[in-house]
Structure 1
């Protein structure tokens, strides 16, 4: 009787722990990620919340965790409300998938999941910067960019100092993986011109002026590039550990009266911002041209129409910077290197079919960041990014 009683107690205890465990942790979905390319991939993937088919309010999304099958460590998650209506639209996580293989992850609910969420060391970031007139700046662990707002335009039009009249995209060359935007702007407020000097974290030597910078657009015709002015409004959609998204609105521009909104996103670990141009005109527009400025006509260009890769490699101060645009080849009608003696008007120009939504990637790499050592490295990164774009990771949620 003693032996039977002891066995009964053991079995009862195990069953009790099992049922308690079920109440404290439950696997909700299995997520399979497939990589069809011939090289390993470590990048952000997105799952529409509609595919999860979960009531996030009842579950408390902060208690949801994700991990690779058979692993103990949890992945960093980010929830995104794309239209700012108060409801989450997609779930982001970083997938690490070997060449030509698949990997499975599990999404689970845990009672104390909020306490177990991993704390990322690096992040993406973007914000409006009213203390530097009215820039909008964005960055991740590799690169940083900025665009110019209406007050900067007003200063130029009034003939006052400190402004910039341009819808071109500026590049900030950073050599650290942590966020530098706030620090550089704060120091610049105390010491004007601070971020134009390399204090060990990088600097901004890149000149935009009236050019397209890297990835600004216009309408190309009769040897002239018609462009918008500075953005007039902005919306920060999300900024977090894996992706930042924002929108910039522009006043109607050119004789075509084009209405333009740029929706820009930047993922952790990527040298490339994704640009979605939302465009509308009541009259027929001949094309939209994406530009990369050719500073003083220096540097080497490459037009790889087959792979949708357009590259510039140029000397800036005592180092080199590679810039690039990636776009699907079926969108492109023409590409050329246009050189002139007029300041800020020499460009590598990619002419595209006029459309309501134009999507492309813009990016760069600075030699002193150790991300690239030569032009061949930059070409390799560009080609890989073009393959990422053409072959996104395939995600199945069960």
Structure 2
């Protein structure tokens, strides 16, 4: 599925400005890191006031060479677009009335009620999913975020679900199983998203763990695992940003069963990492909070990093079938407010009775203050799409941790 969006301003059926009025957007990079295709945002209302845009005015965003760049209007009234800014320098972009070009949709997601209420989303680098109420109703325990690797920039998730869930194909497989199990298996593999058909696959194990970067409260050093989301609302859906708001069933925290978790998850084009803002209603006292990545190997074999001073953790996951040529999934999380990072392995009884074949978690630990927002970043990469080794992934995570602490400075002139 490849979608193309015409980027419009509100209803956008014409434009009322002459095109002579414009506003300059200054983007300054005070860091020592070149910023490439990083998404910046600013208030669309502030821009409109400066150049007198009406609700039916089409706009364009131009770089310093006068070339149009893609943009998106977000649910909270912001204008976002990608910028290129060298280290210790600044660039200027122009917003004015005009007819926007067509740009590819790089970010997309939706709920899949046909697959037990999954919500899956992707950008041009990586894909993710989280589990919904229909899955929880089955009794299957899947607490954390799932990672779907991809090796192409175009959208793949929709086609993967179409292949995996096609009712006619499923019926053929069921019939073949009765007389030719081998043929049934071959047909299944030809459509399954657990097999790489040239653009990646689902080969990550979540189970009853935090999966690929889920946040959770801790009480007395024990993780309070969230389950599947209760309700959802998709707020942004491309071409440059996907945003979903999730609410959860009440958690019991230190005897209080009225704690309601809300997550706001955003994925931008060009990055491996989601930004997530977590809040807890009705919580009355400060409590530890973690962002965790499941470990699928004993400590003697696991390749992970815990960098407390920069607030990031990472892990090279061997995938659910290391002998199948699935490569390695590199998973990471950045918690700017982290006070500690460490690996914690399950006791044998917990591992055997509760966690399936998982061995533990690598955790970034912070404190959650009631009525505050816990902001962190989590995501993944693949050894078959841009990251050959854990060292390369750690370099990326280190760079991103630095970038999060030195955001670009955006001003409207």
Common topology (TM > 0.5): yes
Whether the aligned pair in 2 keeps the contact of 1:261 and 1:279 (CA below 8 Å) is: yes
Of 386, 391, 396, the match for 1:381: 396
Whether the aligned pair in 2 keeps the contact of 1:122 and 1:177 (CA below 8 Å) is: no
Match of 2:315 in 1: 312
Of 294, 318, 331, the match for 1:323: 331
Question: 2:318 aligns to what SS in structure 1?
Answer: strand
Cα distance 1:23–1:326, how it changes in 2: closer, same or farther (>3 A)?
closer
Match of 1:169 in 2: 145
Post-superposition offset of 1:227: 1.4
1:315-359 Cα distance to aligned partner (Å, 9 max, x none) = 22232221111011xx22332211123033611122211222100
Of 132, 136, 145, the match for 1:153: 136
Match of 1:347 in 2: 361
Structure 2: tracts of 5 or more residues without a match: 1-15, 171-187
Distance 1:307 1:61 in 2: 45
Distance 2:366 2:394 in 1: 22
Is 1:45 matched up with 2:61? no
1:7-34 Cα distance to aligned partner (Å, 9 max, x none) = xxxxxxxxxxxxxxx9642232111101
Post-superposition offset of 1:210: 0.5
Alignment of 1:1-398 (within 5 A): 24-42=18-36, 43-54=38-49, 59-60=54-55, 63-69=58-64, 71-82=65-76, 89-110=77-98, 113=99, 117-156=100-139, 164-190=140-166, 194-222=192-220, 224-255=222-253, 256-257=256-257, 258-297=259-298, 298-316=301-319, 317=322, 318=325, 319-328=327-336, 331-340=337-346, 341=348, 342=351, 343=355, 344=358, 346-355=360-369, 356-369=372-385, 371-398=386-413
Question: 1:39 aligns to what SS in structure 2?
Answer: coil
CA-based RMSD of the aligned residues comes to: 2.1
Post-superposition offset of 1:60: 4.2
Whether the aligned pair in 1 keeps the contact of 2:297 and 2:359 (CA below 8 Å) is: no
Whether the aligned pair in 1 keeps the contact of 2:312 and 2:364 (CA below 8 Å) is: no
Distance 2:306 2:81 in 1: 33
Distance 1:233 1:345 in 2: 31
Match of 1:5 in 2: none
The number of aligned residues is: 355
Match of 2:176 in 1: none
Question: 2:209 aligns to what SS in structure 1?
Answer: coil
Whether the aligned pair in 2 keeps the contact of 1:220 and 1:287 (CA below 8 Å) is: yes
Cα distance 1:183–1:23, how it changes in 2: closer, same or farther (>3 A)?
closer
Distance 1:23 1:364 in 2: 44
Q: TM-score, normalised by structure 2?
A: 0.81
**Greater shift in the superposed pair: 351-360 or 143-152:** 351-360
1:98-143 Cα distance to aligned partner (Å, 9 max, x none) = 1211111111113xx2xxx122234101111111110011110001
Question: 1:338 aligns to what SS in structure 2?
Answer: strand
Post-superposition offset of 1:181: 1.4
Cα distance 1:39–1:285, how it changes in 2: closer, same or farther (>3 A)?
closer
**Greater shift in the superposed pair: 174-183 or 251-260:** 251-260
Whether the aligned pair in 2 keeps the contact of 1:128 and 1:135 (CA below 8 Å) is: yes
Question: 1:363 aligns to what SS in structure 2?
Answer: strand
Cα distance 1:103–1:254, how it changes in 2: closer, same or farther (>3 A)?
same
Cα distance 1:195–1:39, how it changes in 2: closer, same or farther (>3 A)?
same
Distance 1:54 1:284 in 2: 43
Post-superposition offset of 1:302: 1.2
Whether the aligned pair in 1 keeps the contact of 2:151 and 2:199 (CA below 8 Å) is: yes
Whether the aligned pair in 1 keeps the contact of 2:143 and 2:206 (CA below 8 Å) is: no
